[in-house]
Chain A
Amino acid sequence: MNRALLRRLFWRSLLVQAAWNYRGMQHLGLLWAQLPAMPEDPQARKEAMARAAEFYNAHPYLCGYLLGAAAKLEPTGGGEALSRLKKAALSPLGAVGDRLFWAGLRPMAGAVGMLALALLATSPQTPRAGLPLALGLTALAVAAYNAIHLHWRWRALQDGYELGLGVAQSIRALVSHRALAHTGAALAVLAGVVPPLVLASARGDGVVEGLGGALVFVLAMLAGWQLPARGSALPLALAGLGLMWMFM
């Protein structure tokens, strides 16, 4: 395995979104990332670059599967098969990446960070004195997120390079990866832990005062739960709160 080439592809894969546009989406980033793996022969290189510039949009963290496969297949004349693999892999790579990272790990790391801040607010120390601890915990959550994300990027690249066209099996296996179920469960537990701690952090600081404040807190939480996740729910709620505040 050419590890020097893989390392170059890895660093370049971090910029896969840098030239994102509405016509080919991530295609220019992928083309640029693939440059170190282009064939030496000028004609083969032209064809490989044209293939790399085809439409591409998937989860940015998982582009390594195709980059690795391209590094293996393009120099050996497997470009046409690679093109078919790329078209077939777009949807699963996008769907799994979005579920695993954007809708799973990312909110989870955010929730851990908020938990750290809630712990800080409930701390008997003054919040200012506890800030380094809370920031440390939050930084730990972000470091854990990036350890997983970078490991996945590297592993995807290695799989693609080792397996070539066979990487289709790895991509198919991603769809039923157990990490998808685990992140959902962990997120649910975290989402349960945060509210009581945040509510508890209000005691004694005069921000939520008495039963009325707690009632408003619970009502607003229920509103957030029941209102649609997308669309105008939040702006409407904000406008309502603002109007109540100003005119009542």
Chain B
Amino acid sequence: MHLAAALAISLFVYLDSWPVGQFMLGRPVLLLPLLGLLVGEPLLGLWLGLVLELITLRSLPMGSALPPDPALAGAWTLLGISRATGLAQGNAQGAPHWTPVLLALLIALPLCWAAPWLTWAQRRINGALWRPRFLLAAEAGDVRACGRAMGATFTQTLLLGALASLAAILVVEHAAPLLEPLALRLSGHRLAGLLPLPWALLAFSLGGLWRHAAGRGGNHRLWMGLALGTVLALLMAVRP
């Protein structure tokens, strides 16, 4: 994928995460399978989206809190990996099929916790650089100056987002081939069949979702859902 297209996608995800609208279009469970399709790695996108969604489902952007950002981290990871050259392409080499997922997770998980620093920096800049301009405009009752201040804030937000995305995509692009041997080693370990990381993470996060749901809706509804899910799963198992 061309770097400009990768940057445009990253910016779209970043803007949806907090400065504009928050339409949830950047949720990993939707965004990453779509991005996977776009970069020719649909299953990788699907797995990464599923696992990152589960890990961060309980992290809420309440007040001034900056929770992990799985959408931006996942997007940077997928876009960077799709641009990386020299990857052994786990499946093609006959490696266990979760090797690419492990590689993507090794990169995406630290990025989940690193990406909110971009938001933190932007909010600091807003306070130091743009807030005085807005307040001066308000003091003078100048509507046009206030509009110009918003334009400048938004443009600078876009520039910082583009710069951070460029750096992140390039880092992932160059780090992926270096980390691939570790992913191969982990997936080739004798315990890998017993303890696949994506599944353990998935289960861990589902447990967290359970805890959250039980606290909000009552245990009996949780068990009702569990029974319903079991019936559905059994029906699928016996389906010809």
List the interface of chain A (C-beta within 8 A of B): 14-15, 17-25, 28, 31-32, 35, 38, 42-43, 45-46, 49-50, 52-53, 57, 60-61, 94, 98, 102-104, 106-107, 109-111, 113-114, 117, 120, 122, 124, 127-128, 131, 134-135, 138-139, 141-142, 145-146, 149, 183-200, 202-203, 206-209, 212-213, 216-227, 229, 234, 237-238, 241, 244-246, 248
Cβ proximity bits B158-188 to A, threshold 8 Å, 1 near / 0 not: 0000000000000000000000000000100
Interface residues of B in 203-225 (CB under 8 A from A): 203-214, 216-219, 221-225
Contact of A188 among B24, B55, B208, B218 (CB under 8 A): B218
- Interface segment among B2-10, B72-80, B86-94, B130-138: the answer is B130-138
Give the size of the chain B interface in residues (CB under 8 angstroms): 99
Query: For residue A38, which residue of chain B has the nearest CB?
Result: B143
Q: Is the beta-carbon distance between B212 and A191 smaller than 8 angstroms?
A: yes
* A189 in contact with B224 given A14-B21, A107-B209, A208-B196 (CB within 8 Å): yes
Contact of B134 among A19, A46, A190, A208 (CB under 8 A): A19
> Please, how many angstroms separate the alpha-carbon atoms of A244 and B189 in the complex?
11
Query: For residue B140, which residue of chain A has the nearest CB?
Result: A46
> Given the complex, which residues of B lie within 8 Å of A184, measured CB to CB?
213, 216-218
> Given the complex, which residues of B lie within 8 Å of A185, measured CB to CB?
217-218, 221
Q: How many pairs, one residue from A and one from B, have CB atoms within 8 Å of each other in the complex?
A: 321
**What 3 pairs between A and B have smallest CB-CB spacing?**
A192-B225, A224-B207, A188-B217
Cβ proximity bits B27-56 to A, threshold 8 Å, 1 near / 0 not: 101100110010000110010011001110
Q: Is the beta-carbon distance between A196 and B200 smaller than 8 angstroms?
A: no
